[in-house]
Amino acid sequence: MCENNSHLAGKNPEVGCFQKKQDTIERAGEKFRGFFDNKNSVEKYLGKIFLSAVLFYISVRLFLFHIYPAPLPAGDAALLPDSDARSYLLLSRLPLLSKALLFGGRPPGYPVFLKIFSGNLNFIYSAQFAVSSASAVLFMRIMYRLIKNSYLKILTLIGLVIFFLNPNLMIWDKWVLTESLSFSIFFLLFSLLLATAQKPRIYDLLFVAALWICWGSLRDGNIYLLLFFCIYILFAAVIKLLEKKYVLICIPLMIFFLYSNYAIHENHRNWLSLTNVITLRVLNDRERLEYFEKHGMPVDHDVMQRKGRVAADDFDDFSKNTGLQKFCKWLFNDGKKTYEKYLLTHVGYLSLEPIWHRPSESGNIHRAIRDLSIKELFETRIEEGYLLETIPTSIRRWLWPVINFYFGIGIYFLAVIFMIKGAVWKPAKVKKEMNFTLFFIVFSYPFMLVLWHGDSCDVWRHLLPALTEFNLGAMLLIFFLLDEFLTRNKPMNEEEIEH
């Protein structure tokens, strides 16, 4: 066949054959790009496709919300078993401006939310479901507007619908725990940052600050991502990566961070978590045990008997045992300072131990509630607990595959490279939404370190917000890069920029 076309290259048939193959490849590439550039074939249906995706998502959420049994019986909170839910419900009865609520044993955000519904569990479940669904729909709407390519809009909608239908996100609506509201506010916050990235206005920034404060008031660990955000904003404003008006956000956020840190220290909120860290990660390691004993921690038979046991395991024995009084006193007075000093002087343990951690002994409450590593967090599917068994395993494995840890590392370092590139070279044409996407990916790891070192019991639940932050950021990074590739040679008009 190439010989018959040798006239394309004079007397050299090989050159003619090569030229024909090259032309065929170029035409195939043009057809591929043309397929994605042909908006007219799908553009008129995009509105209906978006509405269908939203209706499908809401329908599935409603169905699953009604089939999930509520884990708590309706009744007086004081009669419930001692648990996080009971503590939150009892705190919600306190006066709004009381010291016991604002500076108590728990962050005030969730008790204030519960106070709105006067402890009525059905109202609480319905409100958490409504806020959760609305935040997901808003996020889908923002991404639908930001992605320019028509076909990629559809793929983005499909990806986000599957993401937001993940059982790890949905199951919390019928729990009196902070997770449902924490996820919802995070999605609202992320979507607002994306929507206002191009032309932020003052009242947009004030709303962003308010959402950060609401999110930070739900759990003590959240305030550290808030702190990381302030550091990032200040740095990005200095190098002109973001507008200087973003610095206004940092003022109320830093005030809130100082207030939260004072409340945590004043009420020893972290003593229970610190106890779990000592019993699960220090008592079973000779080198750490020697360090803590050298720095004043009492080590005797009664203390060593708590090795591998969380504080909630036979709590009466832990709190009333006279042999543990010195240990408890040390925890309250010097435990936190000693632990922080150990972390700062053992950088390897601080930064790498959470990734590969293999506990020799661990709490045996439930296999979903245990000490595990960040690698396990990525690759382990919790098949039982938290009502996940309600959804068939085959469906969970197909729709929500476990992320390979090393693939996650690759995405993370890709985000780091893009962040460094944006900070050093500051390309003229760049999606400003990408800055916040990169922030949530890159700072998910420091956030995981803070949460992992903060508690050794129920690590999966405590690190789930950071894992969700990374997974959503990674998905958005891929969509933004694909959209940039497909629309690379197309100048953006003013209307698209404004959107």
pLDDT in tens, 412-427: 999 999 999 888 776 5
Same-domain status, 140 and 239: yes
Q: Where are the alpha helices (DSSP H) in 400-456?
A: 405-424, 433-442, 444-454
Residues 146, 149, 150, 154: is their CA dihedral positive or negative?
Answer: negative
What percentage of the chain has pLDDT greater than the value 90? 41
Residues 280 and 349 in one domain: yes
Look at 265 and 14; give whichever has higher pLDDT: 265
What backbone torsions phi and psi does residue 146 show, to the nearest 5 degrees? -75, -35
Task: Count the residues in the chain.
Answer: 499
Q: What is the pLDDT of residues 266-294, one digit of tens each?
A: 887 888 888 888 988 898 888 999 999 99
Identify the domain containing residue 446 by its residue range: 46-74+120-219+221-268+377-498
What are the residues whose beta carbons fall under 8 Å from the beta carbon of 58, sequence distance 6 or more? 133, 137
Are 149 and 248 in the same domain? yes
| 68 and 173 share one domain | yes
Query: Does residue 356 share a domain with residue 282?
Result: yes
Say whether both 299 and 347 belong to one domain.
yes
- The SS3 assignment for 231 reads helix
Q: Is 18 domain-assigned?
A: no
- pLDDT beyond 70 at 449: yes
Q: What span, in angstroms and rounded, lies between the C-alpha atoms of 456 and 419?
A: 31
User: Are residues 335 and 409 part of one domain?
Assistant: no
Instruction: Tell me, yes or no, whether 429 and 368 share the same domain.
Output: no
Q: What is the pLDDT of residue 5?
A: 47
Residue at 31 is within a domain: no
Contact 456, 276 (CB under 8 A): yes
- pTM score, whole prediction: 0.85
- Determine which of 63-67, 68-72, 84-88, 285-289 has the lowest per-residue pLDDT on average: 68-72
Q: Higher-confidence residue: 54 or 388? A: 54
pLDDT level of residue 9 (50, 70, 90 thresholds): very low
Residue 28 lies in a domain: no
The pLDDT value recorded for residue 493 is 44
DSSP state of 331: I
In a domain, 104, yes or no: no
Residue 106 in any domain: the answer is no
Q: What is the mean pLDDT of residues 297-314?
A: 82
Mark whether 431 and 490 lie in a shared domain: yes
Q: Are 413 and 483 in a shared domain?
A: yes
- Residues 276 and 457 sit within 8 Å (Cβ to Cβ): yes
Predicted local distance difference test score (pLDDT) of residue 241:
85
Above pLDDT 70, what percent of the chain?
78
**CB neighbour burial string for 99-127, b if at least 16 within 10 angstroms, e if fewer:** eebbebebbbbbbbbbbebebebeebbeb
Counting other chains too, the contacts that 116-124 makes at CB distance below 8 Å and 24 or more residues apart are 119/77, 119/89, 119/92, 119/93, 121/70, 121/72, 121/74, 121/176, 122/74, 124/176
Q: Mind listing the pLDDT tens digit for each residue in 82-95?
A: 578 888 988 899 99
Query: Which one of 345, 372, 399 terminates a domain?
Result: 372
Residue 350, token pair as written in the block: 């601080």
Is residue 102 assigned to a domain? no
Residue 184 — very low, low, confident or very high, per pLDDT cuts 50/70/90? very high
Interval 317-366: pLDDT, tens: 666 777 788 888 898 888 899 999 999 999 999 999 899 877 654 444 44
Mean predicted lDDT score pLDDT of the chain: 82
> What does the alpha-carbon distance between residue 494 and residue 499 come to, in Å, rounded to a whole number?
9
* Number of domains observed in the structure of the chain: 2
What are the phi and psi torsion angles at 366 (to 5°)? Answer: -160, 145
Please determine, for residue 314, whether its predicted confidence score (pLDDT) is greater than 70.
no
Q: What is the structure's pLDDT at 485?
A: 87
Q: What is the pLDDT of residue 494?
A: 41
Quick one: pLDDT at residue 113? 94
Residues 390 and 485 in one domain: yes
Over residues 389-409, mean pLDDT: 73
pLDDT at residue 266, as a whole number: 82
Query: In the listed set 331, 357, 372, which residue is the last one of a domain according to the structure?
Result: 372
Buried/exposed 345-359: b ≥16 CB within 10 Å, e otherwise: eeeebeeebbbebeb
Q: What is the pLDDT of residue 118?
A: 85
Residues whose CB falls within 8 Å of the CB of residue 372, separated by 6 or more in sequence, listed in order: 357, 359, 380, 459, 460
User: Are 339 and 447 in the same domain?
Assistant: no
Phi, psi for residue 369 in degrees, rounded to 5: -115, 95
In a domain, 94, yes or no: no
Q: Output the pLDDT for position 417.
A: 93
What does the alpha-carbon distance between residue 99 and residue 280 come to, in Å, rounded to a whole number?
A: 33
The answer to whether residue 112 is domain-embedded is no
Residue at a domain's end among 336, 353, 372: 372
pLDDT band at 455 (very low <50, low <70, confident <90, very high): confident
